[in-house]
Amino acid sequence: MLNGIAIAVGIIVLVLALQANPPEYTDLTEDAGSGNQEVVIQADTRERRDIENELISLYDDARDLQDEIDSYELRQPASPYAENVTLHRGYIGGTDPDYEYLILTLAHDANVPIAISDWYLESVVSDERVGLPLGVRVLSRPLDRASENVVLEPGSTAYLITGESPLHSSFRENRCTGYLAEEDTFYPSLYRSCPSAKNDMVLYGNIALDNDRCYDYIESLYTCELPNDRDMSRARINHACERFVEDNLNYVGCVENHRSEPGFTKYGSWYIYLEKDETLWRSKREIIRLIDEHDRVVAILEY
């Protein structure tokens, strides 16, 4: 490719020289007043325009070739994960690090899961660099500390969020994390599709079928809603119903009841927090590289 640029540049130099000093043509014609006279005829306007257009075309080709070379060099040395991992732009451009994020995806046809906690992100433009932290695959309670490598499974997604975690850890979504969104703000928003409160009451509540007030109250709750004392008081539910609600219809109770079920985390995205108090990425003219544990380039994002 480098030879291609050298050739293109050589052609451009030649065309420039021809444009500056067009070839001369000698035509012997007879002048009525002085006899034979040498008349110099230069390239006409149309020929000049053709040369200029050719010059522009050659310049564009050389520039495209240089862009290809630059992009190739930015991706070297290439990681073996590069063909399956993609880095996308999420939200970039504000001043709040809690809202700034990138999106990392692992292809559905990837052969194996990939551990990424030893990887890091870097800006080619600003030299910013930040490592990807440990996480918790299943939070048993909201403030569990990160203690394990983040592992992406084929087809999964990770949000790489610049700011601080509301839970003080990076974590993966599961069937119960919708309850967490009732108490804290997450961006991007958590997926809210918790197990049915009514089904849980049948399985774990030991509530009599004629306890209409309890059934009516449970059926009035929307998915992932955290019950509150005021509404329970208005519903005039009995102690057994109240006990079921307090023990089961929250994040901790939900995890205890459902974490062993197949697919508990199957479709959950990772929320990976870089724990920075300022934004990292430029809003425009930025190049971000994702580097693996052996300093090889996994993915690149240019905008």
- Domain coordinates of the chain in residue numbers? 2-29+36-74, 85-173+265-302
pLDDT the model gives residue 63:
67
pLDDT-based confidence at 197, cuts 50/70/90? very high
pLDDT tens digits, 252-297: 999 999 999 999 998 899 999 999 999 999 999 999 999 999 999 9
Segment of 18-32, 42-56, 70-84, 89-103 carrying the highest mean pLDDT: 89-103
- 229 to 202, 233, 237, 252: CA distances (angstroms): 22, 6, 11, 18
**Where would I find the beta strands (DSSP E) of 144-296?**
151-152, 157-161, 170-172, 270-273, 287-291
67: which DSSP letter?
Answer: H
188 vs 31, higher pLDDT: 188
pLDDT-based confidence at 102, cuts 50/70/90? very high
pLDDT the model gives residue 54:
78
pLDDT the model gives residue 257:
96
pLDDT tens digits, 20-53: 555 554 444 444 445 444 444 555 677 777 777 8
Q: Which CATH class is domain 85-173+265-302?
A: mainly beta
- Does residue 154 register a pLDDT over 70? yes
- Does residue 177 register a pLDDT over 80? yes
The number of CA neighbours under 13 Å toward the Cβ of 288 is 24
Provide the H-helix boundaries in 163-291: 197-200, 212-220, 229-235, 239-248, 251-258
CA angle 63, 66, 71 (to 5 degrees): 130
pLDDT the model gives residue 28:
44
> What percent of the chain is predicted at pLDDT more than 90?
70
Closest of 100, 93, 75 to residue 85, by C-alpha: 75
pLDDT the model gives residue 223:
94
Closest of 155, 92, 113, 26 to residue 286, by C-alpha: 92
Name, in order, each residue with C-beta under 8 angstroms of 259's C-beta and a sequence gap of 6 or more.
138, 174
